């Protein structure tokens, strides 16, 4: 019998619909995988096995009657950033230890509406602040991939490291994730999976634990581009409960796949060649350009002159928004409260000192500094102006190109512990992804090759706002050309 956990989401949905196997069977297969793998990979922070089996049986009943939604019976993992009614949600923080939301996020509500089954909650960097999953209060997630040259445990990236590791390690069919500066695309690139951040406003932020609200956006991590098109469609919706939700139709993006790229104009931005970029990344990028050229696309060299300022602007804007958003954790209404304090201020300060980890504290301190009297204009307002310059760079090239091709990350997955010494080194992980967040554009990472150590590398496609269709079209062509079939060897 085939191993059901190795199926793509699309193949599993077809098999479920054809009644080749039941949702209960495939759910049990994933539960067995999680039980065996989680002590090593640490991808799940909560397993909801009873709930999963209950949901699976309900799906089987619907499928038996020939009914069911777009995701009927499909077992998924949910990033611990999405509030799930009655199931602990902590965003990887001790601050929210024991927090059980009495409501459901809109994104996960949409998934259950479409018949998906919840396997559990996935590990992540604390409040999504990190690029290696090492800031999680639950400890780091481990990447299922290992380098041929070393036995060291590797990071799956972050912040959606649990989602990426779970998909790559066959611990769910697909997973939800979120992306503020690259937190979907970088982990996808590090684990040989597909991850897309849609246009800002496509997926509702209601019930997502907030980090930087003008940048946060939900999206899926999946095994294939087609799976990403299927899952993203279910996740997106107009939601009156999110003031920045876009009142637009959600297209069927599977219609954009396998159409080739003939006649499309693909931009290659010269500013994305960064100092110290490994030759293998440049070689992969060149290969991607050649694939698209061979497919009939016109390659256009473009300039996005403010690219190098995107990361420093991000490290003002995101901490500033975080310092405002995370002010809600005061130990009064929910979250951690210190046992003893000398005064009200002392209670706030002690509760927050005990509840937050070091990276979160660092960013909240930066945020408070750049928003403080005397520095607000010099740092925060200037960063917002630079942000507009970055967005304008993109606006100017959309007349010449239909989509942009870049590497997803400046390196392959690195060893856990490698980049913890200097926060700046860690921040540079997002150098290629953060521009799409600042400008609100859709971006996808597609596995396109491996490095000399056999580790996966990704290519990124950035598109116009609300033009995920072209992003999927180009991503599908890259996927077809790359023929990426490598899988991590099971060692866990």
Tokens 């000398």 -> residue: 342
**List 22, 23, 79, 178, catalytic entry:** 79
Output 28 or 337, the one with its CB closest to another protein: 337
Output 194 or 441, the one with its CB closest to another protein: 441
Pick one of 148, 308, 396, 490: the residue that binds another protein (CB under 8 A).
308
Interface with another protein by CB under 8 A: which range of 31-39, 221-229, 287-295, 304-312? Answer: 304-312
Structure tokens at 404: 């942009």
Q: Are 42 and 138 a contacting pair, CB within 8 Å? A: yes
> Parallel, antiparallel, or unpaired: how do β-strands 174-179 and 75-79 relate?
parallel
* H/E run at residue 45: strand 44-47
Pick one of 254, 277, 309, 492: the residue that binds another protein (CB under 8 A).
309
Structure tokens at 219: 């999206």
Q: Are 133 and 157 a contacting pair, CB within 8 Å? A: yes
Which of 100, 126, 120, 96 lies closest to 37 in space, CA to CA?
120
Range 204-233, binding another protein (CB under 8 A) = 214
> Interface mask (CB under 8 A) for another protein, residues 184-203, using x and -?
----------------xx--
Residues 6+ apart with CB under 8 A from 108: 78, 82, 83, 84, 118, 176, 207
Interface with another protein by CB under 8 A: which range of 276-284, 291-299, 331-339, 410-418? Answer: 331-339
Interface with another protein by CB under 8 A: which range of 30-38, 122-130, 292-300, 381-389? Answer: 381-389
Pick one of 298, 375, 397, 454: the residue that binds another protein (CB under 8 A).
375
Strands (E), 248-363: 265-269, 298-302
Range 403-442, binding another protein (CB under 8 A) = 422-424, 438-440
Q: Would you call 45 exposed, middle or buried from its count of C-beta atoms within 10 A (0-12, 13-18, 19+)?
A: buried
> Parallel, antiparallel, or unpaired: how do β-strands 265-269 and 298-302 relate?
parallel
The minimum distance between CB 203 and another protein, in angstroms, equals: 13
The minimum distance between CB 272 and another protein, in angstroms, equals: 17
Instruction: Assign 3-state DSSP to the chain and report helix, strand, coil percentages, each to 5.
Output: 40, 15, 45
The minimum distance between CB 417 and another protein, in angstroms, equals: 18
Q: Are 438 and 466 a contacting pair, CB within 8 Å? A: no
CA 48 to centroid of chain Cα atoms: 21
| Residue 386 engages another protein in binding (rule: CB under 8 A) | yes
The minimum distance between CB 367 and another protein, in angstroms, equals: 7
**List 22, 23, 108, 159, catalytic entry:** 159
Pick one of 54, 153, 298, 330: the residue that binds another protein (CB under 8 A).
330
The minimum distance between CB 199 and another protein, in angstroms, equals: 9
Output 15 or 319, the one with its CB closest to another protein: 319
Overall residue count recorded for the chain in this entry = 492
Range 436-475, binding another protein (CB under 8 A) = 438-440, 465
Distance between CA 303 and CA 306 in Å, rounded? 9
Pick one of 372, 396, 417, 486: the residue that binds another protein (CB under 8 A).
372
The minimum distance between CB 364 and another protein, in angstroms, equals: 5
Ramachandran angles phi, psi of 326, nearest 5°: -85, 5
Range 44-103, binding another protein (CB under 8 A) = 98-103
Output 98 or 263, the one with its CB closest to another protein: 98
Angle (CA) 8-432-266 rounded to 5° is: 75
Pick one of 334, 398, 418, 454: the residue that binds another protein (CB under 8 A).
334
Distance between CA 52 and CA 444 in Å, rounded? 29
**DSSP one-letter string for 465-476:** TT-HHHHHHHHH
Q: What is the DSSP letter of 136?
A: -
Catalytic residue check, 490: no
Pick one of 364, 431, 475, 482: the residue that binds another protein (CB under 8 A).
364
Ramachandran angles phi, psi of 455, nearest 5°: -90, 145
Catalytic residue check, 79: yes
Catalytic residue check, 445: no
Pick one of 8, 389, 418, 454: the residue that binds another protein (CB under 8 A).
389
Q: Tell me the catalytic residues.
A: 79, 159, 183
């Amino acid at each position: 019998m085939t191993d059901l956990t190795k199926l793509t989401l699309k193949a599993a949905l077809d098999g479920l619909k054809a009644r080749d196997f039941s949702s209960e069977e495939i759910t049990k297969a994933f539960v067995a995988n999680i039980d065996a793998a989680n002590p090593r990979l640490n991808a799940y922070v909560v397993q909801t096995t009873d709930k999963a089996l209950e949901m699976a049986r309900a799906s089987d009943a619907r499928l038996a009657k020939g009914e069911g939604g777009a995701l009927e019976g499909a077992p998924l993992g949910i990033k611990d950033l999405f509030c799930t009614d009655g199931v602990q949600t902590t965003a990887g923080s001790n601050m929210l230890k024991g927090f059980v939301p009495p409501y459901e996020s809109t994104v996960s509500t949409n998934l259950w509406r479409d018949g998906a089954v919840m396997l559990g909650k996935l590990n992540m960097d604390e409040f999504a602040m990190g690029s290696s999953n090492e800031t999680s209060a639950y400890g780091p997630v481990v990447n299922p991939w290992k380098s041929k040259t070393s036995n060291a445990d590797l990071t799956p990236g972050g912040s959606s490291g649990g989602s990426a590791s779970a998909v790559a390690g066959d611990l769910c069919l697909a997973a939800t994730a979120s992306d503020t500066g690259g937190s979907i695309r970088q982990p996808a690139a590090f684990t040989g999976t597909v991850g897309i951040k849609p246009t800002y406003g496509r997926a509702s932020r209601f019930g997502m634990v907030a980090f930087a609200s003008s940048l946060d956006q939900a999206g899926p991590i999946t095994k294939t581009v087609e799976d990403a098109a299927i899952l993203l469609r279910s996740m997106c919706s107009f939601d009156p409960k999110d003031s920045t939700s876009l009142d637009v139709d959600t297209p069927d993006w599977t219609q954009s796949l396998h159409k080739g790229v003939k006649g499309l104009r693909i931009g290659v931005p010269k500013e994305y060649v960064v100092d110290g970029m490994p030759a293998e990344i440049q070689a992969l990028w060149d290969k991607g350009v050649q694939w698209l050229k061979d497919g009939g696309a016109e390659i256009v060299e473009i300039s996005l002159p403010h690219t190098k300022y995107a990361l420093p602007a991000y490290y003002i804007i995101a901490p500033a928004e975080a310092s405002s958003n995370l002010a809600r954790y005061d130990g009064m209404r929910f979250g951690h409260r210190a046992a003893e304090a000398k005064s009200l201020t002392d209670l706030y300060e002690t509760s927050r000192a005990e509840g937050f980890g070091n990276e979160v504290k660092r960013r909240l301190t930066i945020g408070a500094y750049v928003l403080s009297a005397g520095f607000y204009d010099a740092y925060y307002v200037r960063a917002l102006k630079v942000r507009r310059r970055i967005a304008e760079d993109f606006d100017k090239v959309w007349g010449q190109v239909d989509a942009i091709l870049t590497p997803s990350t400046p390196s392959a997955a690195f060893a856990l512990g490698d980049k913890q010494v200097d926060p700046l080194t860690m921040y540079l992980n997002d150098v290629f992804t953060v521009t799409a967040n600042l400008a609100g554009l859709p971006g996808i990472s597609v596995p396109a090759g491996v490095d000399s150590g056999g580790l996966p590398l990704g290519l990124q496609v950035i598109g116009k706002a609300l033009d995920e269709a072209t992003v999927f079209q180009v991503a599908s062509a890259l996927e077809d050309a790359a023929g990426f079939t490598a899988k991590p060897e099971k060692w866990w």
